Structure 1
Amino acid sequence: MGKITGFIEFERVAESYEAPGARLKHYKEFVLALEDKQAQVQGARCMDCGIPFCNTGCPVNNIIPDWNDLVYRQEWKQALDVLHSTNNFPEFTGRICPAPCEEACTLNISNEPVGIKSIEHAIIDKGWEQGWVVPQPPLKKSGKKVAVVGSGPAGLAAAQQLARAGHSVTVFEKSNRIGGLLRYGIPDFKLDKSLIERRVSQMEAEGVEFLASTYVGAAADATEDGLNVITTAELDEQFDAVIMAGGSEAPRDLPVPGRELGGVHFAMDFLRQQNKRNAGDRIANQISAAGKHVIVIGGGDTGSDCVGTSNRQGAASVTQIELMPRPPEHENKALTWPYWPAKLRTSSSHVEGCERDWAITTKSFQGDKGKLKKLVCARVEWVKDDTTGQMKMQEVEGSEFELKADLVFLAMGFVSPVAAVLDAFGVEKDQRGNVKANVDNYRTSRDKVFSAGDMRRGQSLVVWAIREGRQCARAVDEFLMGASLLPR
C-alpha cells in the first residue's frame, strides 16, 4: 500500500485551519483541505503493515489502505468508488468523525498515524468537484414501500440503500428541514448544510421522497405547532416495512437546586436555534451568549460545540467543566493501541477561547429575581470501592467554590430516544430505554418494524449511524425480497 518506504520518507501533514480571530467572525467551515499533492504524499505514508487495523477501527469498515494507495497513484475516481463502497456519506465523516481509524493505524504506535480522515475529505470533495457523484437510480422497481422515520445519518443511509435496491422509500422528519441531528445538532462551522442539501437532491433523483415537518405518532405528542401528523397505524397500513431511525434526543438533566432559573438550558436547544437562524429562520426569544459569562457543563463534542457557538455570538467568557477527572495528555500505547484511548482532546473550539476544568460537581444554581447569577460547585475525587471494585465519586471536603454565570448549557449527553415515539410504535425497549433490536436483523418486537442508529444503540457517532443504516437496509431488503445483494 502506498509507497514502500513512504512512512519513512514523509512526515504526517494535517489539515490546517483558518486563524481563530478570522473564523470567529462567521459560521462557515474553516478547515483548509489538503491539496492534491499533499494528499498524494499522505497516501504514500500508508505502509504495508500486514494487518490493517484501521479497517476494523473504522465502524463502517472503510477499505482504507486501498484508497490510500489509489490517491498515492492519483487514481482519484477509483479511490472514490472504493470509498463509496462502504460509506454513503464520506463528506460528513471526512469532516466530523473523530477518526478512530487513525487511532488504530499502525503508525500511531509512534504517534504519527496516516492522515486517513484528511485523505477521505480530499477524495469526496474532488468527487463532487469533478461531477463523479451522480444519482444511481435502480434499473427496476420492486413494488415494495418502505417508511423511514428520521432523516439523520442512519435514516439517510438506510433510505439510499433501499432506494437503490428498487424499493419506494419515504423519509419522515419532524423538523422543517431534512438532516436530523446532522442538520441541527452540529454547528455550521463544522458541517456546512449545503452538503446535506446536495445529498438529498441526489437521493430524490434516486426515487426517495422526503416529508419534512411531519411527526410520526400521536398528535398530542407533537412538540411543535403546525406539524403534519401520521400515526403508526397509518404507516402500518401504507408501507411494507418501517425503519425507526430517529436520534437519541432525551437529554440528561441536572436536577439540583435552582435548575428552574432563567439562563439554564439544554445544549441542543441552543445549538438548534443558531443553526435555524443561519438557515434564515426567525427565532423568537433566541438564547444568546452575547456579552454573557457562559458555563458549559459536560466535556464531550456537544459541549465543545457550545463553546464555539458561544464565542461566535460574543460571549464575555466561556468555561467548560467536567465531572470526570482530567484525562492524561498521552495514552499508554502498550495498553490501548489499536483501540480508542482515553486522553486529553482539545478541539478547535477550545483553541478559540475557553477555560476548562475537571472533576467538578455542580451543587446548585443561584440567581436573583429568577435569573441565573452563579454556580455553586465543589471538587470531587474518584476512588475505588473496596467491595465492588467500582470507581465512586466523593466530594473533596472544603473544596466548595462559586463560578460567575449568566448562561449555563447542560451538555452531559443523551439518555434515550423520545419515549412518546417508542410508545406510539409499541415496541419493546431495552434497559436503557432504547428500541430493543439486535444487529443481526435489526427487527423490533413489532412485525415489519426495524430500528437502527441512535434510537437502537443509544447516543453514538455519525459513522456508527451510517453503518447501522446500511446494515438495517440489507435486513429490510432480505425481509421484503427473501434475499439481498446490498452490502452489509
Structure 2
Amino acid sequence: MGKPTGFMEIERKKVQWREPAERAGDFSEFQQEYDDKTRQDQGARCMDCGVPFCQSSYGCPIHNLIPEWNDLIYHGKWEEAYYRLRKTNNFPEFTGRVCPAPCESACVLGINEPAVTIKDNEAAIIDRAYASGLVVPRPPKKRTGKRVAIIGSGPAGLSAADELNQAGHSVTVYEREDRIGGLLMYGIPNMKLDKGLVSKRIKLMEQEGVEFCPGTEVGRTVSTGDLVESYDAILVATGATKPRDLPVPGRELRGVHFAMEFLTENTRSLLNSNLQDGAYISAAGKRVVVIGGGDTGNDCIGTSVRHGAAQVINFELMPQPASERTDEFPWPTYPRLLKSDYGHQEAHNAYGADPRQWSILTKEFIGNERGELKGIKTVRVQWSKEPGERPTFQEVPGSEEVWDADLVFLAMGFLGPEQELLQALELEADQRSNVKAEYGSYRTSRKKIFAAGDARRGQSLVVWAINEGRGAAKEIDTALMGSSNLPG
C-alpha cells in the first residue's frame, strides 16, 4: 500500500449530506462529495491487511477488488481505479449509493477503529469516470447468433443482460413497468438514487446492443409460449415483488397502502410532471404511520416528510437494536445496529422527535363511517429468546394505545415473486415460493429457463442481485456455447 500508516493518521469521513431542513424540500440527491484531496486521504486509510475480509463472502458478494482501487485512489490514479472497479461491478453508481456496505462491516480496520469508507470511495470512482468521459459504449465485436430473453429489468436482470451482451448474445429485456430499471427506477426514491443515473446506464446498454421492451408484461402482452419458442434461453429476474400484508381488522379501509404503491407512484409522478399531475398518494397534511423498518420504511418516512405530512410515526415490531456490536453479531458478520438514516433525521427535524416506536404490534385499523382510516390500535410487546431458539414475543398487559392516522404504509418486506408468471412458465417453486433454481447453476425445473436475483433467493440486497445476474449469465453462456469466459 502507498500509505501504510494512513489508517493511523487520517480520520474516517463519510460523504456529507445536505442539512435535513434543506434536503427535505426537494427530491434531489442529498449526498455531497468531498474534494479530491479528502477522497484520496480516505483511500489512504485502507490497510495492507493480510486477508482483506471486505472482498470476502462476509463483505462484498461481487468480490470487488477493494484494496486495489483504494490504493489507486490514494495515488490519484482514477482511471485505473475505474477499470479495476469495472472488472467486478456492472453498476457501481447504484451500489455506491444504495448498498448497505457489508464490506465496511467486514473491514479489518473496523475491528477497533472506524472502518474504511469503501462505499463512498466506490461512488467517487464511478462519478469521476462518468465526468471524465471514461464510461463509453462497448459493443461486442461479434455476435454469436444466440438469443436470450430476460424477464425483469432490476439489478439482476440488468447485470445479466450486460454480461450476456458482452459475450455476443442478442439480449432482449422485458419490463412490465413503463420505464426500465425495476427496483432501481421505482423502488428507491430519487433523493437516494437519481433516476438520471439509471437512465444514463440504460442508454449506454442500448448503445451496446441490448434491446429493452418497457410496458411489456410476459404472460399477458407477450405469451410465454412465444418466448420459449423464440429464444435460446430465458432468465426470470422479476424480483420478490409480493409484499407482506397485515391482515388485521380494518385492513380494507381507505388510507392503508403497501409501501411500494406509495413509492412507485410518487417517483412516476415526479418523473412525468414533477408531481404536478397529482397521480400519486399524497401525504400532505396527513397523519402518517409507517409500519415496518428497514430501507423501505425509511424511504416512506423521507417521502412523507417531503410531501409535508402533519406527522410521521414509524412502528417497528422488533426491539430497538444495540448501537454497537454484540455477541450475536461478531466481526466480520453484518450486524443489526441502530442507525439514524436520512428519513429518520428529516422526521426528527420536522416533528421534534425520532419517529420510531419499537416493540409495538398493530392490532386493528380504525375507520370512520365513510370507510376512511382514522386511527390504529396497538399493543406493546416484550421479546425473549431461549438459547438455540428463535426470538418470541408476548403482549404486555395494559399497554394498548390508539394512534391518530390518515395514511398507513405497510413496509414489512416481501414474500417472494408473484406466482402468476411462474405458473404461466410452468416453473417449480421452492418452499418459500421462490423460483426453484440452485445457486451456482440457476437452472429451473424447465429446460433453457434460468432464474436469478430476488425471484430465486428471496428479498435481498442490490449487490446480491448483481452477483446473481452475473452468475446466471455465465451459466447461460456456458449452456449456449459449451464454455464461458464470463467472470460469473
* Alignment partner, residue 336 of structure 1: 330
* Alignment partner, residue 183 of structure 2: 181
Residue 147 of structure 1 aligns to a residue in which SS?
strand
Consecutive unaligned residues in structure 1, runs of 5 or more: 220-228
Distance 1:26 1:468, change over 3 A: same
C-alpha separation between the residues in 1 aligned to 2:69 and 2:2?
Answer: 9
| 1:382 partnered with 2:383 | yes
Which stretch shows the higher mean deviation, 464-473 or 272-281?
272-281
* Alignment partner, residue 451 of structure 2: 451
C-alpha separation between the residues in 1 aligned to 2:2 and 2:315?
Answer: 43
| Structure 1 residue 367, shift from structure 2 partner | 1.4
Matches within 5 A, 1:46-57: 46-56=46-56, 57=59
**Identity percentage of aligned residues:** 55
Residue 402 of structure 1 aligns to a residue in which SS?
strand
Which stretch shows the higher mean deviation, 164-173 or 19-28?
19-28
Deviations along 1:307-330, one digit per CA (max 9) or x if unpaired, are: 000000000110001111111111
2:304 to 301, 304, 310: 310
* Alignment partner, residue 292 of structure 1: 286
1:279 to 268, 271, 292: 271
AA aligned opposite 1:378: V
1:248 to 214, 221, 240: 240
| Structure 1 residue 247, shift from structure 2 partner | 1.3
Deviations along 1:395-428, one digit per CA (max 9) or x if unpaired, are: 0111111111111000000001011011111111
C-alpha separation between the residues in 1 aligned to 2:122 and 2:112?
Answer: 22
1:101 to 97, 100, 103: 103
Consecutive unaligned residues in structure 2, runs of 5 or more: 349-354
Matches within 5 A, 1:11-410: 11-56=11-56, 57-217=59-219, 219=220, 229-280=221-272, 286-332=280-326, 336-354=330-348, 355-369=355-369, 370-384=371-385, 389-410=389-410
AA aligned opposite 2:158: L
| Structure 1 residue 212, shift from structure 2 partner | 0.4
| Structure 1 residue 334, shift from structure 2 partner | 9.2
C-alpha separation between the residues in 2 aligned to 1:477 and 1:95?
Answer: 30
| Structure 1 residue 49, shift from structure 2 partner | 1.0
| Structure 1 residue 283, shift from structure 2 partner | 5.8
Deviations along 1:282-313, one digit per CA (max 9) or x if unpaired, are: 86663111001100000111000000000000
* Alignment partner, residue 464 of structure 1: 464
C-alpha separation between the residues in 2 aligned to 1:284 and 1:237?
Answer: 42
TM-score (norm 1): 0.96
C-alpha separation between the residues in 2 aligned to 1:375 and 1:107?
Answer: 45
C-alpha separation between the residues in 2 aligned to 1:288 and 1:376?
Answer: 23
C-alpha separation between the residues in 2 aligned to 1:357 and 1:111?
Answer: 30
Q: Is the 8 A contact 1:109 1:333 kept in 2?
A: no
C-alpha separation between the residues in 2 aligned to 1:392 and 1:443?
Answer: 37
C-alpha separation between the residues in 2 aligned to 1:481 and 1:129?
Answer: 37
C-alpha separation between the residues in 2 aligned to 1:334 and 1:254?
Answer: 29
AA aligned opposite 2:409: F
* Alignment partner, residue 222 of structure 1: none
| Structure 1 residue 335, shift from structure 2 partner | 5.1
Q: Is the 8 A contact 2:175 2:213 kept in 1?
A: yes
| 1:479 partnered with 2:473 | no
Which stretch shows the higher mean deviation, 274-283 or 253-262?
274-283
C-alpha separation between the residues in 2 aligned to 1:118 and 1:383?
Answer: 37
Distance 1:411 1:213, change over 3 A: same
| Structure 1 residue 164, shift from structure 2 partner | 0.6
| Structure 1 residue 384, shift from structure 2 partner | 3.4
Residue 184 of structure 2 aligns to a residue in which SS?
helix
Q: Is the 8 A contact 1:297 1:303 kept in 2?
A: yes
C-alpha separation between the residues in 2 aligned to 1:283 and 1:336?
Answer: 49
| Structure 1 residue 196, shift from structure 2 partner | 1.0
Residue 351 of structure 1 aligns to a residue in which SS?
helix
Q: Is the 8 A contact 1:302 1:411 kept in 2?
A: yes
Distance 1:417 1:334, change over 3 A: closer
| Structure 1 residue 127, shift from structure 2 partner | 0.3
C-alpha separation between the residues in 2 aligned to 1:126 and 1:235?
Answer: 40
| Structure 1 residue 96, shift from structure 2 partner | 0.6
Deviations along 1:72-122, one digit per CA (max 9) or x if unpaired, are: 111111100110100000000001111110111011112410100111011
Q: Is the 8 A contact 2:288 2:304 kept in 1?
A: yes
| Structure 1 residue 332, shift from structure 2 partner | 2.7
AA aligned opposite 2:35: E
Aligned length: 477
Deviations along 1:410-465, one digit per CA (max 9) or x if unpaired, are: 00000010110111111110111000111221100010000000100111111110
| Structure 1 residue 197, shift from structure 2 partner | 1.0
* Alignment partner, residue 416 of structure 1: 416
Residue 378 of structure 1 aligns to a residue in which SS?
strand
Residue 122 of structure 1 aligns to a residue in which SS?
helix
Residue 431 of structure 1 aligns to a residue in which SS?
coil
